[in-house]
Amino acid sequence: MIFSNKLKISIEEIKLISTYNTMNTAEKWHGTTIVLLRKNNETVVAGDGQVSLGNTVLKSKAKKVRKIEKRGVIAGFAGSTADALTLFERLEAKLEKHAGNLPRAAVELAKDWRSDKFLRRLEALMAVADKENSFIISGTGDVLEPEGDVIGIGSGGNYALAAGKVLIESNISAEEVAKKAIKVAADICVFTNENVKVEKI
């Protein structure tokens, strides 16, 4: 009986520790700096390649930007890579449903993200664009259309945003602006590296 009680307590303690570690791990995920900008009729999204868990770098060449060729849409994701891929698939489905209408697809995705039990648990932030529109989509149901031609999200997003706003006034191409903005962020943010991936339309 004494052994049984001890065993019961031990199992309960293990469950508590496991739950705590799961929550703690989720809070420590760091993935990404994304910059999205438009210049000279070109729209570009760029992201770094680092995925970190706490202070440990798990991957240095992750691809966090995607392009939907058929609909002329590009997207970048900050947060958990697996969650981001799930959201990208949902975005692609919404674009198909609404015949490539990005504003409508973004609003519908945000509504689902906020209300769906499964999607609500996903930890990511999206920057999406086509030739005419740029949006930030969040899990709180927000669809934001930022002012200006540059968007920055993620752990080093503010640094990339600031660099992008300065560099966009220079004579270099949109792609070069995006790459340099990520590299500036990488010099400052420990969760960002210089392995830049780019998609453009």
pLDDT digits (tens, 9 = 90+) for 63-102: 889 998 888 999 998 877 777 777 888 899 999 999 999 9
pTM for the whole thing?
0.79
Of 20-34, 55-69, 76-90, give the lowest mean pLDDT range.
Answer: 20-34
Q: Which residues contact 180 (CB under 8 A, 6 or more apart)?
A: 163, 167, 172
Domain locations in the chain as residue ranges: 29-200
Q: How confident is the model at residue 106 (pLDDT cuts 50, 70, 90)?
A: very high
Average pLDDT, the chain: 82
Please count the residues of the chain.
Answer: 201
* Confidence at residue 31, expressed as pLDDT on a 0 to 100 scale: 62
Known catalytic membership, residue 32: yes
C-beta of residue 198 within 8 angstroms of C-beta of residue 175: yes
Q: Quick one: CA dihedral 132, 71, 50, 179, positive or negative?
A: negative
Neighbouring CB atoms inside 10 A of 197's CB total 18
| pLDDT at residue 94 in the model | 93
Residue 62: strand, helix, or coil: coil
Q: What average pLDDT does this structure show over 100-122?
A: 83
pLDDT per residue as tens digits for the range 147-179: 889 999 998 999 999 999 999 999 999 999 999
Which residues does 195 contact at the CB level (< 8 Å), separation at least 6? 48, 49, 50, 60, 61
- Spot the catalytic one: 19, 22, 25, 32: 32
User: Looking at domain 29-200, what is its CATH homologous superfamily?
Assistant: Aminohydrolase, N-terminal nucleophile (Ntn) domain (3.60.20.10)
